Amino acid sequence: MTLFYDEIYSSGLDRTARFPVDRYSRIAENIRLRDKDGLIEIKSPRLAQREEILLAHDASFVDRFLSQSLCEDEIRRIGLRPWKPEIVERTLRLVGGALDGLDLLAKGFPIAGNMAGGTHHAFRREGAGYCIFNDLAICAEFALGRGQAERVLILDLDVHQGDGTAEIFQGDDRVYTVSLHGQDNFPFRKKTSDLDLGFSKGAGDEEFLDGLDRTLAQLSDQSFDLIFFQAGVDALSADALGLLNLTRKGMSQRNERVFDWRHKLGIPMLLFMGGGYSDPIDDTVDAFTDLFFGAARAYQFAVRA
């Protein structure tokens, strides 16, 4: 399975930012150390183009970010401060990695992924919550525009609701937005997805997996051409921002159920990383490593079937 990654995913952020800057480089290192069977091929992502980003974002916002002239309030809402000049290239490569994965699906690959992204708090005219441009929305618009899909499912299992994605596609029948999230967590003013399921503080494996099973069963009655899986692991009990209580095993079971469901439907899937802020960060790194190896095994099963 192809996974897109560049060292700028980590180095493009300031090390003093209130964000786990090293998680990307540590996940990449973990994969390289554990991948004895060559299940994952890591490739460098391209730079997304301005015209591609404009598919989902307002030109004024895009141009002000690219020229590094956002106002302080806009930067504060996004976070990731203090900003380095490299944040522009980092952001373009982050979106480019998702678009590269989308190209692989267009060529017949069943699954591809980006070792970053899932930036679901970004709205058309502003960023928020560590998210600058919404790579999920950009990829959906790109796929729809070039005829790769007529209907896209965005399955968001991050502990934080995909509010930016929900608002961007409000009333758009071409994109079906689903968010399973912590009801008591950020964003505190929720948007309305096509399907929302909120969990109370402290919900664990059994409750979450039961909700996921019901959701997947409900989605099985609909028709989609692409699945975007926002696979944040911040529902882990060790997560500093999560407020839920999933175990590492429960998180792996979550992933397996999604991959098995995808295989039964035979729909191509693009994997977006999402959030993870455990303290220590090792739990997040391990959970994301589990995610990508689970996806790689699902990929192997699909191509051999």
Give every CB contact of residue 130 below 8 A, 6+ residues apart in sequence: 19, 78, 79, 80, 119, 121, 275
120 classed as catalytic: no
Work out the number of other CB atoms within 10 angstroms of the CB of residue 63: 14
Please give the Cα distance from 42 to 298 (Å, whole number): 17
- Kindly name the residue from 57, 120, 121, 160 that is annotated as catalytic: 121
Residues comprising the chain, all counted: 305
Pairing of the two strands 152-156 and 2-4: unpaired
Residue 164 Cα distances to 61, 131, 168, 199, angstroms:
15, 9, 6, 19
Give every CB contact of residue 298 below 8 A, 6+ residues apart in sequence: 110, 111, 259, 260, 262, 263
Catalytic positions are 121
